[in-house]
Structure 1
Amino acid sequence: MIRISELRLDYLKQPVGVTKLPQFGWMIDSDQRNIIQTAYQLQIADNPDFNNAIYDSGLVESEDSAHVIPDKPALKSASKYFVHVRIKSNTGEISKWSDSTYFVTALISNIEWRAAFISAETKEDASNSKGTYLRTEFTVKNKVKEAYAFTTALGLYKFYINGKKVGTDEMTPGWTSYNKRLLYQTYDITDLLNTGKNAAGALVGAGWYKGTMGFIGARNNYGDQTAFLSQIHIRYEDGTTDIIGSDETWKGSDSPVLFSEIYDGEIYDARLEQPGWNTPGFEDKDWKAVSIVDFNKEILTAQSGTRVKKVEEVSAKRIFTTPKGDTVIDFGQNMTGWIHFRVNGKAGDKVILNCFEVLDSEGNVYFDNLRKAKETLDFTCKGGEEEYEPNFTFQGFQFAKIAAYPGNTELSDFTAYAVHSDMEPTGTFDCSNQDINQLQHNILWGLKGNFLDIPTDCPQRNERLGWTGDAQIFCRTASYLMNTYTFFHKWLKDVAADQTPEGGVPHVVPDLLSGKEADDWLLSQGTHSAAAWADVAVINPWTLYLTFGDKEIIKEQYESMKAWINFMQTHSVDNIWNYKLQFGDWVALDAEEGSYFGATPNDLTCTAYYAYSTGLFARMANYIGNTKDYETYRALFEQIKKAFQEHFFDEDGNMTANTQTAHVVALYFNLVPEKYRQKTAEALVRLVEKENGHLVTGFVGTPYICHALSQNGHIKEAYDLLLKDDFPSWLYQVKKGATTVWEHWDGLKPDGTMWSPDMNSFNHYAYGAIGEWLYRVVAGIEIDETNPGYKHSIIHPRFGGGLSYVNAGYKSVYGNLSVHWEQKDDKCILEVTVPHNTSATILLDGAKDVLQADGLQFEKAQNDRKALTGSGTYHIEFVR
């Protein structure tokens, strides 16, 4: 029996806001092994019954069950399309039609925009961050067949129809390089409309667009006046249509949101609420006329998925009194989001909550690492039972100080919501070591805390920027944990948009540092093109290609990648590259006292990344058939590699920089002369031994150090490094009670003191990049570059670390891939599930004899045994 278990469109279940035909992909279930699709039939219809399908592929002979892109039909704006598929397998069986799914189109062309950006603010409001109301009423003339709203804002917005919030999205329209690209959202509002009078309303706030952003405290980075844009398309049962757009007939008013900003929180006065303001019949005679704000609608871009939502609810774990007498709520988990509370007070009573991450060594409130961010919720009661959560801000916190609250506080009155981009979880990992399981938990929550529309560096202090280095370092780990395609695809558009004319890549994206004047060391030395940071332009598309097998991401980011390689080439001398401000091996522990810059020379780290990115770009050029660029950039890679070897190895094959990171990047980026590879790996082992078995690497070396060891015959040393639990190590943080990953190895020092508060985040995912080693090596779930997206997988778990078992899984575009291994005395048990319509190579780590092969044919492969297999679940037992 075969069937389609899931049908995906652009890697999403039901994308809303599509402007071109999606890619289609599906997962196959069967009770048989070695199932291969031999043909498929795909239908698209404008009704769920598929009467008179507008597209029917017929039976197409093809193995493709991912990345299927029909060349028709042409799509209409503001329409819902239904899709289903069936397949034929190599057994000759034809499946039933899959359950149907759908996609909804946005405006296919921006020339269809008729609405105007409207504002209840004026230029005189440039310095404030209040929230404003906007409203209108309109008539629905007949029975509605379908209706869609297209909405966005200069600022942040919440949209309402007839008193109900439209959708479950938060922090819309997100953060992009607004003057180059502004997203808009599409909503199905069919069920919210009534025949006759209806009301539309919006609450608008400053957000990233107008509020104070960045550590330099710049304001009005994109504009100084918030505005809202809405266009509603109604299609009636009788075939007629209506379009209702925001215009000068709308009215505006101030709202109860007196202040709301990303860093500082929100001030809300419930006494100023206007009940019914977003419902028909509300008396708005005292409201003011709106103004029209000029904005280029040609740069509007529909957003089809991965919007920010309240994803998880976290209950308060305890309320306690600190040694200094403060009342504090503990939610038990460091997170990003906000607090929802209930209160019963008198009009004018206050609730004030100050959010923060950690307690100090004495158990008291610790605000210092927030820097200038206030992270405060300030609520004024209107009287009676009330509930509140903020509108246009988010906090990074585990704790909240209750600075004011009427009456007694109860745990049940406080609930936290983890808020982040809505991505499907794809990876699972657990093992016999509970500290490693906690580390895995911390890595995942680091992702949740910093994937809020863009990949941020931290969620708590006055920064929260899209630092490119952090995103590059963590991309592979993130792509095991969650379906990151849409998230990174969206952000990489801004990486390209914000590149300099010469191809330089900003340190942060969206780039709100370049062009600013401030007394700041970073701005004075350069705001773009740092090795490992700027290389996100190449490494992240490469990672998405590997993970999803999708050449479209290469094609879309191709010119951006090429421009970055050319930038490095232009600024290199004899193929050694360095440029202005470099972060190098940032916050490595081999830095000089008081310095953030690790001991590995910038010439080395820059040139290593120059070679690595150039090599990756050449391979991607080859995979999309650009032979000329492949040959050109492959030759350039070889030239850079040769220069690297000549400059950074002496005549005896020793590296000239005697640091862990120098050896790590040389090994992992394949820049070591082959005859010196083992010597270089052994030198790395000695450098680790010199530190009593600890790493001292920073942002550049840490992601790859365990790989550099395990790929070169030192799996034991890699495990030993992972399992260290004293300072500095990953598990040191676990032992200190961390629930997310820290920015510094010594964020909380062994003596209880803190790293300098100017830069000490306790939710900073970069060092969580060890997560990919857990999946790729410990669990052994690896990608075959020549057949990516797990179309062909390499299953090679590496036993060690005293682990008695490991369970891991990854939900690929083809289906669930899982690995379970356990070790009992001398016998090893391995259970593997390979998705249908894929294959895998299974390698048995150090196997001397195979006791049970479950029908597979194993042959010797150096120190292992390997077998090629098709889909299905296999139970293997062997002796090492």
Structure 2
Amino acid sequence: MPSKYRLLSLLASLLLVAQSYAASVVNLTCEYKRDPLGIDETSPRLSWQIESQEHAVQQTAYRILVSTTPEGIKSRQADLWDSGKVESNQSLHLRYAGLPLSSRQTCYWSVQFWDQNNRKSEWSTIGSWEIGLPSQSDWDGANWIQMEGDNRSSPLTKRSLKTKFINEAKEVQSYPSPLFRKTFTVRPGIKRARAYLCGLGYSEMQINGIPCSDAVLDPANVTYDRRALYVTHDITAALHPGENVATVQLGSGFYGQNHAFNAPGLNYGRPGLIAKILVDYADGSTQTINSDSSWKASSGPILYDNVYGGESYDARLEMDGWQLPGFDDSSWSHATRCEALAPKLQAQMIDPIRRIKSLAPVSIIRGHDGKWIFDLGQNIAGWAKIRVQEPAGTQLTLRYSEILTDDRRELDMITTGVHATGLEQMDIYICKGDGIETWEPRFTYHGFRYIEIEGLSSPPDSDTLQGVFVRTAVARRGYFLSSDEVLNRIYDASMWTIEDNLHSILEDCPHREKCAWLGDTHAVGETAIFNYDMAQFWTKFADDIETNLGRGGVTYWGQKATPGIPTNVATGRRVCQEARPDWGSAYILLPWYQYLYYGDTDVFTRHYPHLKRWIQYVESLTENGIVIRGYGDWCPPGGNKHMECPVELSSTAFYYGTLRVMQRFAEYLGKQDDVEQFKELARRTKDAFNKTYFDESIGGYGSQTANAISLRFELFPERQRERVSNSLVHDVTANHLGHVAVGIHGGRPIYSLLSESGSSDAAIAALKKPTWPSYSYALSQGLTTWPEIFDEFPRGRSTSGRSLNHPMQSGFAAWFHESLGGIRPGAPGFKVVHLKPYGFDQLDWVKTSHDSPYGTIKSEWSKNGERFQWEVSIPANTTARISIPSKAADLITMGGNALLECSDVKLEGICDGYATFTLDSGSYSIDSELP
């Protein structure tokens, strides 16, 4: 072969090699986590993303390697699992199928893939996962321990409790918050060391004075007589040859919450812990340090802690060096072994609660009687951190509220639920008097904007106090910004309201109840997913529902609870009776959200028998095909007495919606008999619904919520969608003078449905209307989070005394992504991305993004006269169905080229001012002329 041909051949070969590495595998996760430590699943699910600058990259095959060492991956000699080349486009939730894995085993893994042109990627970077202690036998030798007795003598161990149901206030006392120590000797040659800890209710662990984690309020809140969660700490770097010490401090948390609500039955008992420390040496040996009666215990400076009431701390009782080796603990008592505080231990898979940010006060107000009030300018959940210099014994009392009295010189506690819990949100700090002191509570959290301090000897400054915002540290996964500042503020307030209520459950409010109500959860579930990494969070929540099945006691109409049926509150002992049909639908809708947005089939597969039982239960509550029980369209403007949608209508709609979901689940699981049963029940329910509620004369159902949920669940009669949509728009624009008047059932879908009906102008106008009861009105009255009930709020006050921080009222905010951004899943997990934006007649530009399981979906559009410019990004290994607003398809360009001439784009059709195309993955610049 002549040399020039050999050169051309070599260049061609080099080009092919370069092409084969044009895409890479990134973001390896195991059970949704990157390099997780201490998981229970011994056949975990593996996922990855594909990153490429090219268009139309699709995975057609993959190969997974799993090894006991990184070297095994590098040499491609995997000793645990080599999947071989598997023909599949699946890159989510691949179940490990290698050799059996054992407790504490570390696995290293890597992936490569082939694309549609049979090009092979490079191997990904190496990921890992580590098994924890999944079997109860793994805990053998470790004992549950507690501190015996109570030597606290201070009056600060007690608080005054007065609910609206008791005539006279009474004194209540919290459990002691004990300190534990265990000294042990470590040999040289440490290879790996882990501490496995479950400390109830809350715990903080240190090794040689080094915190094991930056988590707070850990572990997560669960139903403790069914299970408790343990955490795994990597303590390798904290140990050294010679004497070491492990220390743990406990708080009561929800486990030992023994007096709020004047309901001692909510209490599980005194704080306690179980721990196992395992030190692996280079010579192959392992040293075990178990929790037992050899651990030493003492009370400490925390005199009172209650998750509703607050914390009292006497700094004069601090014991310097108690967390370090060499401390003299001879005066401490030995820990007492006790019965198991929970029947089952499980690895904590959700993100822990962390300090997210600190907020400086925006103003300091001189209150009455020498008190000072700090305004953070934002309603948050967390606590205050103080920095003071006062004489020893000085008592500083911190009280927390959402609002002030009319003269703005006192706190008003009415919205924080003091009438229900019987406790003010209050922290007390006793100064030790040795210079500047900083302090923040450990085992409580509050909901507040304002903090009052009493006891300062001189006026404070901005350094005296900061607000500490804490929440479950789920990562941000979505963003929204637009040309309209009011909409931006509404979006931001919606996110604040959600974040303020993420404390290992989605709670109803961060002060009064802190309860995991099911109705609130399905109302806000999708909004949360668009904006945060909620996969493990909602998985835990579904499991929480399971832990309380059949524990409702009674129904609200006095019937004895039915075995296997959820309670209205998912977690703990404050279950609030058996779940009403519309609230209990969360047990099906949450697994549906997991499937729709994450492609996760595991949740509904595990819970399927319970979900089916729920359907059978709701069917038993029907009369002539109508579900006769429920809470209804909860908390519309002005309160439930203004509920416009019949309770039976909304309950029946949710029943129908869950029947259709269950049909999908049964189809996936191959349960054909169930498929036919759900299909027939849905048919009968739809017929009964429309026979009972559809008003032919108006083409709708008589209220905004009724129309909205019939559209959401596609309950309308055949060929009546447009009439029902028109009826919805008319009710908003004419019957309610441009206002939306719905509770949480209608609130979730109504703005998106208005946009879909071609009335984005009505949706935006309703949100921005300056008069009550709009979201804009709430902002104008000084609110920074959404209230439980949209009252008329004179000067930011709540006329009903209800909470000003309820996430259920953020359910509508999915609209920012699914309507203004136009981002929706077209297939489970966003394997197909639907893009169809709205609002371009009202707004100049919108920027949205959502990090899907396959990668980031971006939708950013702007309007310039009659031109519509749209920047979109579609992750590799997905496709899109994209609807472009345009006067005509032949006027659309992409990257400067006529879209109709692009060979890899297919026109599906033109309808209602949109041209719809199928599009492969990649980033695109689209330009069209608006209709």
TM-score scaled to structure 2, two decimals?
0.88
The one-letter code of the counterpart of 2:239 is L
Q: 1:807 to 1:116 in 2, by over 3 A?
A: same
CA drift at 1:557 = 2.3
State whether residues 178 and 222 of structure 1, in contact with CA within 8 Å, keep that contact through their aligned partners in structure 2. Answer: no
Q: Among 538, 543, 546, which residue is 2:593 paired with? A: 543
Q: For 1:325 and 1:277, locate their aligned partners in 2 and report how far apart those are by CA, in whole Å.
A: 37
Q: For 1:607 and 1:121, locate their aligned partners in 2 and report how far apart those are by CA, in whole Å.
A: 53
CA drift at 1:629 = 1.4
Q: 1:754 to 1:297 in 2, by over 3 A?
A: closer
Counterparts of 1:846-857 in structure 2 under 5 Å? 846-849=886-889, 850-854=891-895, 855=902, 856-857=905-906
Once structures 1 and 2 are overlaid, which stretch shifts more, 771-780 or 121-130?
121-130
- Please identify the structure whose Cα radius of gyration is greater: 2
Q: For 2:173 and 2:369, locate their aligned partners in 1 and report how far apart those are by CA, in whole Å.
A: 36
Counterpart check, 1:695 vs 2:744: no
CA drift at 1:650 = 4.7
Counterparts of 1:796-807 in structure 2 under 5 Å? 796-800=836-840, 802-807=842-847
Counterparts of 1:430-441 in structure 2 under 5 Å? 430-441=481-492
Counterparts of 1:386-785 in structure 2 under 5 Å? 386-461=437-512, 463-500=513-550, 501-514=562-575, 527-579=577-629, 582-589=630-637, 595-596=640-641, 598-650=643-695, 652=697, 658-688=702-732, 689-746=734-791, 749-750=793-794, 754-757=798-801, 760-784=802-826
Q: 1:641 to 1:77 in 2, by over 3 A?
A: same
Q: For 1:31 and 1:753, locate their aligned partners in 2 and report how far apart those are by CA, in whole Å.
A: 52
CA drift at 1:325 = 7.0
CA drift at 1:64 = 1.6
Once structures 1 and 2 are overlaid, which stretch shifts more, 596-605 or 397-406?
596-605
Q: Name 2:108's counterpart in structure 1.
A: 82
Q: 1:318 to 1:45 in 2, by over 3 A?
A: farther
Q: For 1:265 and 1:716, locate their aligned partners in 2 and report how far apart those are by CA, in whole Å.
A: 46
Q: Name 1:47's counterpart in structure 2.
A: 69
The one-letter code of the counterpart of 2:625 is N
CA drift at 1:755 = 2.1
Counterparts of 1:83-232 in structure 2 under 5 Å? 83-114=109-140, 115-122=142-149, 127-212=173-258, 216-219=261-264, 221-232=266-277
Q: For 1:687 and 1:768, locate their aligned partners in 2 and report how far apart those are by CA, in whole Å.
A: 22
Identity %: 28
State whether residues 415 and 798 of structure 2, in contact with CA within 8 Å, keep that contact through their aligned partners in structure 1. Answer: no
Q: Among 889, 901, 909, which residue is 1:860 paired with? A: 909
CA drift at 1:711 = 3.4
Q: For 1:435 and 1:323, locate their aligned partners in 2 and report how far apart those are by CA, in whole Å.
A: 36
Q: Name 2:869's counterpart in structure 1.
A: 829
Q: For 1:538 and 1:752, locate their aligned partners in 2 and report how far apart those are by CA, in whole Å.
A: 37
Q: 1:629 to 1:296 in 2, by over 3 A?
A: farther
State whether residues 739 and 766 of structure 2, in contact with CA within 8 Å, keep that contact through their aligned partners in structure 1. Answer: yes
Question: Is the partner of 2:655 in helix, strand or coil?
Answer: helix
Question: Is the partner of 2:665 in helix, strand or coil?
Answer: helix
Q: Deviations over 1:412-459 (max 9, x none)?
A: 242322211121111011000011111111111112100110110001
Question: Is the partner of 1:480 in helix, strand or coil?
Answer: helix
State whether residues 471 and 536 of structure 1, in contact with CA within 8 Å, keep that contact through their aligned partners in structure 2. Answer: yes
Counterpart check, 1:4 vs 2:65: no
Q: Name 2:38's counterpart in structure 1.
A: 17
Q: For 1:283 and 1:93, locate their aligned partners in 2 and report how far apart those are by CA, in whole Å.
A: 66
State whether residues 2 and 93 of structure 1, in contact with CA within 8 Å, keep that contact through their aligned partners in structure 2. Answer: no
Q: Deviations over 1:140-196 (max 9, x none)?
A: 134211111111123211112112221122111221111011111111111111212
Question: Is the partner of 2:581 in helix, strand or coil?
Answer: coil
CA drift at 1:828 = 0.8
Q: Deviations over 1:350-406 (max 9, x none)?
A: 222212223345434322212324222211111222221111001112221122234
Q: Name 2:412's counterpart in structure 1.
A: 366
State whether residues 174 and 306 of structure 2, in contact with CA within 8 Å, keep that contact through their aligned partners in structure 1. Answer: no
CA drift at 1:473 = 0.1
Q: For 1:622 and 1:445, locate their aligned partners in 2 and report how far apart those are by CA, in whole Å.
A: 38
Q: Name 2:83's counterpart in structure 1.
A: 57
Q: For 1:202 and 1:7, locate their aligned partners in 2 and report how far apart those are by CA, in whole Å.
A: 33
Question: Is the partner of 1:4 in helix, strand or coil?
Answer: strand
The one-letter code of the counterpart of 1:252 is A
The one-letter code of the counterpart of 1:419 is V
- The size of the alignment, in residue pairs, is 856
Q: For 1:97 and 1:273, locate their aligned partners in 2 and report how far apart those are by CA, in whole Å.
A: 53
Q: For 2:58 and 2:795, locate their aligned partners in 1 and report how far apart those are by CA, in whole Å.
A: 59
Once structures 1 and 2 are overlaid, which stretch shifts more, 87-96 or 33-42?
87-96
Counterparts of 1:280-359 in structure 2 under 5 Å? 280-295=325-340, 298-321=343-366, 326-359=371-404
Q: For 2:132 and 2:638, locate their aligned partners in 1 and report how far apart those are by CA, in whole Å.
A: 52
Q: Deviations over 1:502-530 (max 9, x none)?
A: 3432111214235xxxxxxxx6xxx1222
Q: 1:753 to 1:186 in 2, by over 3 A?
A: closer
Q: For 1:676 and 1:590, locate their aligned partners in 2 and report how far apart those are by CA, in whole Å.
A: 31
TM-score scaled to structure 1, two decimals?
0.93
Structure 1 portions without partners, runs of 5+ = 515-522
Q: For 1:13 and 1:316, locate their aligned partners in 2 and report how far apart those are by CA, in whole Å.
A: 36
Q: 1:275 to 1:379 in 2, by over 3 A?
A: same
The one-letter code of the counterpart of 1:587 is C
Q: Name 1:520's counterpart in structure 2.
A: none
Question: Is the partner of 1:440 in helix, strand or coil?
Answer: helix
Question: Is the partner of 1:96 in helix, strand or coil?
Answer: coil
State whether residues 222 and 228 of structure 2, in contact with CA within 8 Å, keep that contact through their aligned partners in structure 1. Answer: yes
The one-letter code of the counterpart of 2:583 is W
Q: Deviations over 1:558-602 (max 9, x none)?
A: 1222121111012222322123xx3211222376xxx55623222
CA drift at 1:845 = 2.7
Question: Is the partner of 2:57 in helix, strand or coil?
Answer: coil
The one-letter code of the counterpart of 1:403 is E
CA drift at 1:674 = 2.1
State whether residues 590 and 599 of structure 1, in contact with CA within 8 Å, keep that contact through their aligned partners in structure 2. Answer: no
State whether residues 590 and 696 of structure 1, in contact with CA within 8 Å, keep that contact through their aligned partners in structure 2. Answer: no
Structure 2 portions without partners, runs of 5+ = 1-21, 153-171, 551-561, 896-901
Q: For 1:203 and 1:752, locate their aligned partners in 2 and report how far apart those are by CA, in whole Å.
A: 39
Q: For 1:699 and 1:770, locate their aligned partners in 2 and report how far apart those are by CA, in whole Å.
A: 8
Q: For 2:30 and 2:465, locate their aligned partners in 1 and report how far apart those are by CA, in whole Å.
A: 38
What stretches of structure 1 move > 6 A for 4+ residues in a row?
A: 123-126
Q: For 1:205 and 1:752, locate their aligned partners in 2 and report how far apart those are by CA, in whole Å.
A: 34
Q: Among 30, 39, 51, which residue is 2:52 paired with? A: 30
Q: Name 1:812's counterpart in structure 2.
A: 852
Q: Name 2:155's counterpart in structure 1.
A: none
State whether residues 550 and 789 of structure 1, in contact with CA within 8 Å, keep that contact through their aligned partners in structure 2. Answer: yes
Q: 1:650 to 1:842 in 2, by over 3 A?
A: closer
Question: Is the partner of 1:544 in helix, strand or coil?
Answer: helix
CA drift at 1:322 = 5.1
Q: For 1:496 and 1:443, locate their aligned partners in 2 and report how far apart those are by CA, in whole Å.
A: 29
Q: Deviations over 1:511-553 (max 9, x none)?
A: 4235xxxxxxxx6xxx122233111101111111111011112
